[in-house]
Structure formats: structure tokens, C-alpha cells
């Protein structure tokens, strides 16, 4: 089995991604580290415990960072509901978080599991601090699959930026330039045909399983918020599960290429923008660095350009069955 660590801000789509990982037969989730973002940190911890108990998974949940490195904390409860899970009245979990801080847990879990995959579903503050404290763990991470950014397209919190990167652009920049094998799966893969249709949601409901009902109930506020934001009615936007699908099955990303990616931190107009020199128009030599050079020079990110939509949805359905 492949080992995985999930860092999450535990909104309603994060919950679906966690279900996918914990129910997939080929994935061994070693730890869940929580971070502020979609909801406050205490709420994120609560939600992560709810999902682990739903999946009957013995996975430690750690409390992480409560705010960005230098920015004020802002949540996205308008999209996910005041509790992050659609205000569906889901009962509190019985369990409690594991002792210890998420940053320490990231370092210790990576050191104990060389070759582990990290999947990030929220702001990158926990991961950035772990890399700052113990940069030697970089060589032990096989892949860091990031739900974040918007490659050469528009954002969902500003015209330029996607939410997870915008929340803490300084942390995102640290991770993107760290030399770790980062794979960026942007916000663009939760729109249009990438989103679940009304018919696909009906299929999930018809499964009549606890996890299937939970997925739809916890995302009921998100469905309405997505309609208000994009005009798409009866569609469920699931950026974190798409990213988890790519992490579980790399073949779902049908077109990826390595690029130097800069995260904008100095402009409020473009704060959090993931600037990708897709065509090397800047003739920047960093676009020519091979992965063998990345560990030493830390300049390359694998950017996702296309995914296999039927394949991602089939994986989701299989994990909910």
C-alpha cells in the first residue's frame, strides 16, 4: 500500500477527499493534519474527526496552525456552511485529536515513512513551517500533490487567485520553491463537466450508503454557493476530491508539465496568483531545469493542464460504493 499524509482545512469538499483516501484499498493514510482555512482550526479538527469516524478509520488527527504566517485569518463558511459541513446537523465526533502539533507530526510522519505522499487540501502554512524546520524531509516525500492555484486562468476568491494560495501566499511560495516534488492541481478542474451533475448526484443518493448521503448532505450549502458564484445550477464543485483522485491515480492527470511557478505576494491586486510561464516567453532558464536539478535548486512545479473526467468520477464512485 502507498502511504499518505493529508493536510486539510476541512470544508465540505475536503471531507469527500478524505473519504476517498481512507476507503481506497491501495492507500494507507498515516496522519491527517488540520489547518485554518475554510473554517477555523477547532472546526477543522472537529470535521476531520467526524470523517475518520464515519469511515471507521484509525487515523490520527493533529491540530495545526490557526492563522496565516503574516496575514489575518479569513474563512470560507459562506461556501461550506458555518460548520464547514453544510450546516446539516451532523453530530459531534466521539474522539479527540492526537496529542502533538501538526507541524511536528508532518516531520515525524515523513521521517518514519520514506517515500510518503503528501496531499494538501488547504492553505500551505503547516507544510511550509515543517519544511522550514526540517528541510531534510524533502528528499523523503515522493510527491506533494497540492490542491491550489489557477494555472493561466482566473481565480475563485479574486480575479487572479485561488482560495488556498490566496489565504497564505507566503507559505505557498515557500512550498513551491522548496525543491519538493510538487504537483499543482488547480481550481479549474472543479468547473463545467468536472463538477458532478444532478444525475451523478442522484446516482450517489441512490447508493443509499452512509458515506454517499454524507457527501451530499455536507455539500448542500456548497451546491448553492457554487450556483451563486458561477451560475451553474444543480452542480457540485469538488476541487479537493479531484486533487485526491490525481494523487491516488496519477494517470487521471492526462497532461502535466514542469514549470517555474511564482506565487505573487507583494501585490494586493494579484495576491496569491500562481504565475506560470507556460510558453517560456520570459526565456527564464529555470523553465529548463530537469527534475534532477530541482532538489538542489528548488524551482520547478508540475502543473496539471488536463484531466480524464470520466476516470476521476469513476474513482469517486468506487470509493463511495
* Measured distance CA(272)–CA(187) in Å, rounded: 13
Q: Please determine, for residue 298, whether its predicted confidence score (pLDDT) is greater than 50.
A: no
Q: Residue 41: which residues within 8 A CB-CB, separation 6 or more?
A: 34, 35, 63, 64, 65, 66
Residues 17, 22, 28, 30, Cα dihedral to 10°: 80
What does the pLDDT average to over 282-289? 58
pLDDT in tens, 179-189: 999 999 999 99
pLDDT in tens, 37-91: 999 999 999 999 999 999 999 999 999 999 999 999 999 999 999 999 999 999 9
Length of the chain, in residues = 321
Q: How is residue 2 written as a grid cell?
A: 502507498
Domain boundaries, the chain: 2-194+238-320
What does the pLDDT average to over 139-165? 96
Q: Residue 3: which residues within 8 A CB-CB, separation 6 or more?
A: 28, 30, 113, 115, 116, 117
Q: Check if the beta carbon of residue 9 is closer than 8 Å to that of residue 44.
A: yes
Share of the chain above pLDDT 90, in %: 88
Q: Which residues pair with 236 in a beta bridge?
A: 196
* Measured distance CA(87)–CA(220) in Å, rounded: 8
Per-residue pLDDT, 282: 66
What does the pLDDT average to over 183-209? 96
- Judged by average pLDDT, the poorest of 13-27, 38-52, 209-223, 289-303 is 289-303
What does the pLDDT average to over 224-253? 95
Q: Check if the beta carbon of residue 219 is closer than 8 Å to that of residue 86.
A: yes
pTM over 0.85: yes
Looking at domain 2-194+238-320, its CATH superfamily turns out to be Ribonucleoside hydrolase-like (3.90.245.10)
Q: Check if the beta carbon of residue 20 is closer than 8 Å to that of residue 57.
A: no
Residue 2 CB burial class (10 angstroms; 0-12, 13-18, ≥19): middle
Amino acid at each position: 500500500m502507498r502511504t499518505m499524509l493529508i493536510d486539510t482545512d476541512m470544508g465540505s469538499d475536503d471531507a469527500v477527499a478524505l473519504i476517498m483516501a481512507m476507503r481506497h484499498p491501495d492507500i494507507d493514510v498515516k496522519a491527517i493534519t488540520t489547518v485554518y482555512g475554510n473554517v477555523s482550526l477547532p472546526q477543522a479538527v472537529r470535521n476531520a474527526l467526524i470523517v475518520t469516524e464515519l469511515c471507521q478509520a484509525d487515523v490520527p488527527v493533529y491540530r495545526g496552525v490557526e492563522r496565516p504566517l503574516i496575514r489575518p485569518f479569513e474563512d470560507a463558511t459562506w461556501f461550506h456552511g458555518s460548520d464547514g459541513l453544510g450546516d446539516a446537523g451532523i453530530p459531534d465526533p466521539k474522539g479527540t485529536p492526537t496529542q502533538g502539533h501538526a507541524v511536528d507530526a508532518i516531520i515525524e510522519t515523513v521521517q518514519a515513512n520514506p517515500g510518503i505522499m503528501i496531499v494538501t487540501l488547504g492553505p500551505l502554512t503547516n507544510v511550509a513551517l515543517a519544511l522550514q524546520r526540517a528541510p531534510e524531509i524533502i528528499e523523503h516525500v515522493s510527491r506533494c500533490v497540492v490542491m491550489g492555484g489557477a494555472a493561466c486562468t482566473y481565480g475563485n476568491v479574486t480575479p487572479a487567485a485561488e482560495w488556498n494560495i490566496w489565504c497564505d501566499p507566503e507559505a505557498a511560495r515557500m512550498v513551491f520553491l522548496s525543491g519538493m516534488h510538487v504537483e499543482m492541481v488547480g481550481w479549474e478542474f472543479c468547473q463545467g463537466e468536472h463538477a458532478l451533475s444532478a444525475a451523478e448526484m442522484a446516482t450517489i443518493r441512490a447508493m443509499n450508503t452512509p458515506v454517499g448521503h454524507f457527501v451530499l448532505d455536507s455539500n448542500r450549502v456548497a451546491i448553492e454557493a457554487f450556483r451563486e458564484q458561477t451560475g451553474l445550477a444543480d452542480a457540485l464543485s469538488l476541487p479537493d476530491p479531484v486533487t485526491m483522485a490525481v494523487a491516488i491515480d496519477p494517470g487521471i492527470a492526462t497532461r502535466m508539465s514542469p514549470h517555474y511557478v511564482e506565487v505573487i505576494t507583494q501585490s494586493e491586486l494579484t495576491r496569491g496568483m500562481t504565475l506560470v510561464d507556460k510558453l517560456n516567453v520570459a526565456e527564464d532558464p529555470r523553465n529548463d531545469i530537469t527534475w534532477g536539478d530541482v532538489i538542489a535548486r528548488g524551482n520547478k512545479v508540475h502543473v496539471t493542464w488536463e484531466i480524464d473526467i470520466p476516470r476521476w468520477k469513476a474513482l469517486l464512485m468506487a470509493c463511495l460504493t
